[in-house]
Structure 1
Amino acid sequence: MENKKSYTDMMKASAMTRKKHAEKSVLDIYIDMVIHESILTTRRADLLEAIDAALDCKDETLFMKLTDELTSLSCHYG
């Protein structure tokens, strides 16, 4: 005897598959957000440290370059 699924069973299975894919997509988006936030936070901290070092060395050219980078980073990513 063949094990045939009813139309309702097939539709339920299809809906569950779509739901799992949607959940996976949301999870992927969340993971990407966490990774990008981590990268942004690290880059900002590195720039602030380099700016402090440029100030300590009285290197105006480097200071201006780094503050421009920090401003650009802040404008693009908040």
Structure 2
Amino acid sequence: PNVSDAYTINGFPGPLYNCSNKGTYRLKVKPGKTYLLRLINAALNDELFFSIANHTLVIVEADATYVKPFTSETIIIGP
């Protein structure tokens, strides 16, 4: 199967890229504030692992269904 070699975040390339775009996506955040992220894997054959360095994620929804909040260091997002 084909393997993706480029991932995007809000249309910007991820940290490993070889394209004409000069910058990667950056989100300015304030300490102590909570942010809700909507993560989508639009790949055909690839699972994506997602984490934020030195942070714990609180999962509140999965596959369009609210869930009892739980924490995780890393999540896997299936196609």
Q: TM-score range by the shorter chain?
A: under 0.3
Q: Tell me: higher relative CO, structure 1 or 2? Use CA pairs within 8 A at least 6 residues apart.
A: 2
Specify the structure having the higher radius of gyration (Cα). 1
Compute the TM-score of the two structures, normalised by the length of structure 1.
0.22
Question: Larger strand proportion, structure 1 or 2?
Answer: 2
